[in-house]
Structure 1
């Protein structure tokens, strides 16, 4: 620690007396903790003072700190926002982290479009749309979506209106869309429907019903009885749903009741959503924690991460545990909705009963999670767990992907990916790659290309990444793979390089390689994966060369070039088949005239 203090002393002296965010790093330069401060100089220096209060979390953290960096902000609220965003991006091990909620969907209302849509998405974007969720109960979200399309007639198409003119579709004819594509509804009238949807999704059902009742009476006065009947049916449907929901508080009160239960490494949160005095939903979340994290750490971490991108905020939040910076959090939350938001920890009465109910639900969820984790661990082969220990991996490599490049001549350069699940091949996930951007035999550039293409696709399709990426080769190949991940801003992927000569394992950030004993089952598993990737790449390469060789034989015939040879092979499957055909049969292939067909038949005729 003395060495670390000596190295950091200059940086500590130059810290500004301003609000900001600090990022603590370990000896490998990895960010291990992110915090915010009203005064950066005072806050960061406390970590290195002998007189600091001793607690397990701080002791464990300080023992690992070897460097830090910081960002200055204009206010403490700005620092809180930046801290939350950076924690979500880097997920440091000493911060409490909500487990990645990308599996939970949101409803997105594209209010920035002339004729907005309601979409199901799993990623939040920094755009002008309104997001609602996350919906931890997907079935209820689907029911809500069907209700919106049925009663509010919001369009479901993906056209950019009014730029693109299209014909009316089936949705219009079955009265599920008002036809904005053919300008059968004005932008103003359509937006009124969208405003009603926003009220519904915000939990303002009673207010919405009052507005719809006023509209129904207006239509009746104007003798628009058919339209008035439609509004009446909508009111009945909303009230029917509203009556099924449990009344939990005085009318017009919007509250979230949040409680958690914890173990040494996990916390389960339950949030009861009360809008206009009615319980409209229950959300649940899981958080990765450390044994030294206090209940206050967990409660504050949840508030910051859960409400960072939540556009449907209540005016009251009731918690099961105290938070240290209540006033600052209230200021931040109030600024998000331009209304006062208050945080409470009830000690008695009905509000405490609600918190206790949320806590009881959280305990049940935590028990379920712990049982699932134990069952999952028992299902993971010992071999995979041993590999995690030998490589000192943070995450168990249940799923592993390995890349290989095969060069058989200048023109035959391909890549392969093989995929293992729980130590066994999963061939449905195998992939081939033709190298597209690299000229000549440059394995590093070729590897960089296929790693980039594969992970870009995973990112685009929002699919899970493998727990471990195995690259065939040493430091150079590993560096090429890391370059591809960096270009995609992927920072949490576990990667190793496996060099053939001494069977060394290279890990990013470590100067020395890991030598796994030759008799170790872990090494045999890695060799099996690497050899399978090599076999798969060579097999594909030979297949391509075989096709090219066959195509060359056809190109010996006058008038048959590469395109016609390819058309013949695609149509008939093989040269052997073509040899057996008459000229009129050969002419059935695309782009092959009778003249070419006769030349081909004559070329292959025995006489």
Structure 2
């Protein structure tokens, strides 16, 4: 931890709030909340011995932090959820691709429209969703179009436009699907009541909706407006028909949400069952990112924050598969959003527990489906990679191998190279060349340490993918240099081996004697191929630099031949040898040259 950060931590107030951990470029890596900011930040920068690897990787990238003090923990929770939604930090739990989920939008116009959108505009419109099941969304929208006479056009309808007769009714009015507000055929108040009925239908408040429509039908019939009463009667029938397709899960006509989460490795899934008026009207599922090394309670806490930040309706009762880490804070926040208390409950027995178990099973099935889809898309692991994992006893198959080698001539032009193999095949677009900057003379170990540190340091800073195995060309010395660098970044668990050329012995950290594999082993042949490719790439880079230096120094020494003439000669003849073999006449024909300069070059390069 640098002096600047240590000084800032001493000035952090002991109050609730939100903190942002940032990298050197100011990008937010993590957003957290705390009851006491000073204590929480100290725990980040002074972790204990049992620090998780993901946390260590994050803290290696942290270069600065920012704090925002709030009046209460609940305000900190709200602010944290908004920051996570807005910035989607790499090390927070996030809903995957949540911006692409569709919503039903009810506009804030004089005569509101109801339509599907994937873009939220804060203009007073109401949004319902998100809907992860497009079929459910289509069924709801089709029912709205059939039951309610709400306009579908994009006209800007105002009192002035109606008075000036700027618009005419369309086909939807003539077939009874629109009340014709554009020509004033329906009053603003009556249209507004129709929109509120649509909202109740979307929210699943169908019992209230049917009661309201029944009362209106009775009033119309009493006034002998029988045609209008018949229209309302048909609306009631459609709503009741739609209700019959929904599963009754509670005879008490209650409103509640049922949430469950499941995780496996770096994948996690959250499912929401929506119960309105005792009927299950929707099932939504979300995949979550950033859940590595998170407990199920931490995942549930993040899922609750992110889900209810995106939906307008909060029911009075929420069933959960497990309690969130900040249960009291979440309940208080949701109560504020609802305007009345909200109960978080983990069912243990009876019908409620069976409903919760159904939600859990759905979550696990969806997560298993995601894992199967990923496995089907993933390329099959090559036999050589599997053999290498078996031979070295690695916890995971070394699909991505990064190998390093150095090259120099008696300490001159020291360079290094890194090659990448994925699933046993070279990935040349990711090869890298390095000029050794900090080492003078011949010091293979220091050169190896510098190059590995530059590579790993960049991956840590930029959040790049770490290799499954690091291979260094050499024995104990080169291996020790590489493991020392990994220790600086708290990456001691990252597998690294050294392969010595003479006897093809494999050196591993913490093991005194080298390991020897059979010459016929596919795993050994893969290591040899990777090592030899790194050596070839490093040597070719070194030769290229040395050749350029040799050419440059020979032509630099010729009097009267400046940079432009040197470049023109090398362009014309390709190399120093080509210039040497050219005749004076050929040299004189090059752009920028004359007979005198050509004679000087010919004499200098061909003198004995």
Taking structure 2 as the reference length, the TM-score comes to: 0.60
Equivalents in 1 of 2:130, 2:380: separation in Å? 30
Provide, for residues 421-451 of structure 1, a one-character-per-residue CA deviation record: whole Å limited to 9, x for no partner: xxxxxxxxxxxxxxxxxxxxxxxxxxxxxxx
Q: 5 Å matches for 1:446-461?
A: none
Indicate conservation of the 8 Å contact 2:268/2:291, yes or no: no
| 1:37 counterpart residue number | 34
Does residue 146 (structure 1) correspond to residue 142 (structure 2)? The answer is yes
Q: Answer with 332-341 or 302-311: which moved more.
A: 332-341
| 1:106 counterpart residue number | 103
Indicate conservation of the 8 Å contact 1:257/1:355, yes or no: yes
Indicate conservation of the 8 Å contact 1:149/1:155, yes or no: no
Report how far residue 158 of structure 1 moved.
Answer: 0.5
Provide, for residues 481-520 of structure 1, a one-character-per-residue CA deviation record: whole Å limited to 9, x for no partner: xxxxxxxxxxx999xxxxxxxxxxxxxxxxxxxxx99999
Indicate conservation of the 8 Å contact 1:260/1:362, yes or no: yes
| 2:418 counterpart residue number | none
Does residue 126 (structure 1) correspond to residue 141 (structure 2)? The answer is no
Indicate conservation of the 8 Å contact 1:36/1:83, yes or no: yes
| 2:497 counterpart residue number | none
SS state at 1:102 partner: helix
| 1:214 counterpart residue number | 215
Indicate conservation of the 8 Å contact 2:261/2:296, yes or no: no
Of residues 91, 95, 98, the one that matches 2:92 is 95
Provide, for residues 223-266 of structure 1, a one-character-per-residue CA deviation record: whole Å limited to 9, x for no partner: 11111111111111111111221111142311111112211111
Equivalents in 2 of 1:220, 1:326: separation in Å? 52
Task: Return closer, same or farther for 1:127/1:53 CA change in 2, 3 Å cut-off.
Answer: farther
Indicate conservation of the 8 Å contact 2:130/2:310, yes or no: no
Task: Return closer, same or farther for 1:518/1:131 CA change in 2, 3 Å cut-off.
Answer: farther
Q: What is the aligned-residue RMSD (CA, Å)?
A: 3.0
Indicate conservation of the 8 Å contact 2:129/2:310, yes or no: no
Taking structure 1 as the reference length, the TM-score comes to: 0.60
Indicate conservation of the 8 Å contact 2:256/2:274, yes or no: yes
Report how far residue 7 of structure 1 moved.
Answer: 3.3
Equivalents in 2 of 1:271, 1:265: separation in Å? 21
Q: Size of the alignment, in residue pairs?
A: 392
Report how far residue 271 of structure 1 moved.
Answer: 1.0
Task: Return closer, same or farther for 1:149/1:378 CA change in 2, 3 Å cut-off.
Answer: same
Equivalents in 1 of 2:346, 2:536: separation in Å? 58
Provide, for residues 101-155 of structure 1, a one-character-per-residue CA deviation record: whole Å limited to 9, x for no partner: 2332110001x21100001100222221111111112122122112112221100
SS state at 1:227 partner: helix
Report how far residue 166 of structure 1 moved.
Answer: 0.9
Equivalents in 2 of 1:217, 1:200: separation in Å? 20
Indicate conservation of the 8 Å contact 1:96/1:298, yes or no: yes
Larger RCO, structures 1/2 (Cα 8 Å, 6+ apart): 2
Report how far residue 21 of structure 1 moved.
Answer: 0.9
Report how far residue 320 of structure 1 moved.
Answer: 0.8
| 2:70 counterpart residue number | 73
Task: Return closer, same or farther for 1:106/1:517 CA change in 2, 3 Å cut-off.
Answer: farther
Indicate conservation of the 8 Å contact 1:256/1:272, yes or no: yes
Task: Return closer, same or farther for 1:83/1:295 CA change in 2, 3 Å cut-off.
Answer: same
Provide, for residues 457-492 of structure 1, a one-character-per-residue CA deviation record: whole Å limited to 9, x for no partner: xxxxxxxxxxx9xxxxxxxxxxxxxxxxxxxxxxx9
Report how far residue 38 of structure 1 moved.
Answer: 2.3
Does residue 23 (structure 1) correspond to residue 24 (structure 2)? The answer is no
Segments of structure 2 that go 5 or more residues without pairing to the other structure are: 383-397, 403-428, 430-461, 465-532, 538-608
Does residue 262 (structure 1) correspond to residue 263 (structure 2)? The answer is yes
